Amino acid sequence: MAYLQQKWTEYSRLPDPPRRYSHQREFEADWVGGLRRRYGLSQEALAALACVSVTTVQNWENPASRKNIAPHNQERLREIERALWMQAHVTLLEPCPPHIRALHDLLMSHKDASAQGLAEYLLQMLPPDDPERARVLHWAGLAHSISDPASAKARAYQQAALAAVGNGDRSLAAAIENEILGSHFEDLLAQPAGPERQEKARWIMAACERLFERDGQPAYLWNALEVACRAPLPEAERYRLVERLNAVLGEARVRSRIEREEHFAGARALYTTAGPAH
Q: pLDDT tens digits for 214-248?
A: 889 999 999 999 999 999 999 999 999 999 999 99
Q: Do residues 107 and 82 both lie within one domain?
A: no
One domain for residues 133 and 207: yes
Radius of gyration of the chain (CA): 21
What pLDDT, on the 0 to 100 scale, is given for residue 165? 83
- Answering whether pTM is above 0.75, one says yes
- Looking at the domain assignment, is residue 157 inside a domain? yes
Residue 92 lies in a domain: no
Q: Is the predicted pLDDT of residue 275 greater than 60, yes or no?
A: no
pLDDT tens, position by position, 84-142: 999 888 878 778 899 999 999 999 999 999 999 999 999 999 988 887 888 899 999 99
In terms of domains, do 66 and 185 share one? no
**Measured in Å, how far apart are the chain's first and last C-alpha atoms?**
63
Q: What is the CATH number of the domain that holds 112?
A: 1.25.40
The boundaries of the domain holding residue 195 are 97-272
The set of residues, in sequence order, having a beta carbon less than 8 Å from that of 100 and lying 6+ positions away, is 92, 135, 139
Q: Is 171 within the bounds of a domain?
A: yes
Are residues 155 and 118 both part of a single domain?
yes
Residue that finishes a domain, picked among 86, 108, 138: 86
**104 and 72 fall within a common domain:** no
Looking at the domain assignment, is residue 277 inside a domain?
no
Same domain as 69, residue 175: no
Residues 43 and 119 in one domain: no
12 and 104 belong to one structural domain: no
Q: Total structural domains in the chain?
A: 2
Question: Does position 171 have pLDDT exceeding 80, yes or no?
Answer: no
| Cα–Cα distance for residue pair 199/186, rounded to 1 Å | 15
Instruction: Decide if 207 is inside a domain.
Output: yes
Within its chain, how far is the Cα of 172 from the centroid? 20
Asked whether residue 91 is assigned to any structural domain, the reply reads no
